[in-house]
Amino acid sequence: MSTGNNIETEYLELNEKQEWTVHYQKIRTESSSNSYTCLEAIKPQNKSLNRYRDVSPYDHSRIVLKRGSSDYINANLVKVEKANRRYILTQGPLSMTVSHFWLMIWEQNSKAVLMLNKLVEKKQEKCYQYWPEKMGKDHAIKLSDVDLTIEYVEYQDYSHYLTRTLRVHDGESGTSREIVQFHYTTWPDFGVPGSPTVFLEFLKKVRAAGVLEEDVGPAVVHCSAGIGRSGTFCLVDSCLVLLQIEKFGVNSVSVKDILLEMRQYRMGLIQTAEQLRFSYLAIIEGAKKLSQSCNDKENCNSEIITNNDSIEETNSIEEEEDEPPPLPPPRLDSLNRNPIDRPLPKIPVSTSLLDFPYKDDDGEEIQTPPSGPLPVIPVDDREDEEESSTDELEEENTRPDSPISEKSAPITLLNNSISPDAELRHRKRIERKEHLAAQVREMKRRQQANEHWTQLKRPKTALPD
């Protein structure tokens, strides 16, 4: 594998020049020069076993079934040698190939199935349902032609994806084995996920199950044709493994070379320039989180963390480092003055004020602050009060040595001066909030740009995935 450019630099250059289509076409042209044959796929008895006539398995890497009426299935064993990764990429099963599909899983000793599509997309069947409708032995599927029985055991929903546990019983040997299906339900046909975050969560879940390791059979990965979304998943996973092996040396991994290597085992992997662009983005984001998690040697086995996890972790650390400011001494000269009997304007409700616990007349805690005018404040102290944040007022009122009772009015403002340390901490909190708000706006902007790109660049005619 040749030494590639820095992945992030390459991604930014392609974005700036808008050359993703050109880059993708170069990969297609280079991979189409091979001389691999697909003779088994075009045999009369096997033509009806292919979902799409223009997506066929190469003869040299196709999966060969060992028992049953036919040894053919539209599936290839894809290898990335330097990453020690092996995947079986296949089409979504047809009604007549469900037996072949499960026989392949059994014979290849696979521990998992990764399904990246829905059964029906754009009012067309993309995959036949190859698992039972309901859980329990009474609803098990019996595949008499290959002597296998499939039972639906367990189900867990994770919003954007779900897992199903399926028990396969082999009548020939009398043994059983459990297979986990990871079903990504929100990946659009010919498209990409809205952001890498959920995709990396899905990848983390799959990796944590140990089903991609070299000491078990290759995981079965499929979408509809078994080349677009399936190729994207395998490319991102393999590149992240290589980045980990190379100690995050982004200069040592070429995404293009890895994709060309994978295309030697199955044709057409990654179908659109948009899927290629998303692969780069997911690799960059995954590598950053991988590097951050492995800076701590004790957490180095945790391979991928998501953006949300890192932001929450940073916030918790910063909150622990913030100590409440010391209570300033009272200003006796202000206390002795007569206050003006006039309520102050309402203070804008901030996040910290909403989080402040209040109690109603029955003593039960409520989430929103009570309405009504604020307590009377001397006119000389009003300027100091307006410059103080509600966070500081909350911290002062909740201190155990505070002269204000916990059962008093919602917030009683003290005639105190604000210490320089408190002002500094307040400014830091505002800067952190503005930084997080900017990150959220940037994520929304990227998502809108991706959706706009999808609408503009989606080809009118392309291979189904």
271 is in an annotated binding site: yes
Q: Which of 38, 127, 223, 294 is catalytic?
A: 223
**Burial class of residue 5, CB neighbours in 10 A (0-12, 13-18, 19+):** middle
432 is in an annotated binding site: no
Residue 416's region, left for phi above 0, alpha for psi from -120 to 50, else beta, is beta
Instruction: Please name the residue that has the structure tokens 């493994």.
Output: 241
Torsion of CA 119, 223, 271, 31, to 10 degrees: -150
Whole-angstrom Cα distance, residue 99 to residue 172? 15
Residue 223 annotated as catalytic: yes
189 is in an annotated binding site: yes
Radius of gyration of the chain (CA): 30
The answer to whether residues 236 and 304 touch, using CB atoms and an 8 Å cutoff, is: no
Instruction: Find how far residue 175's CA is from the centre of its chain.
Output: 36
Q: Which residues are catalytic?
A: 223
Per the annotation, binding residues for substrate are 189, 223-229, 271
Per the annotation, binding residues are 189, 223-229, 271
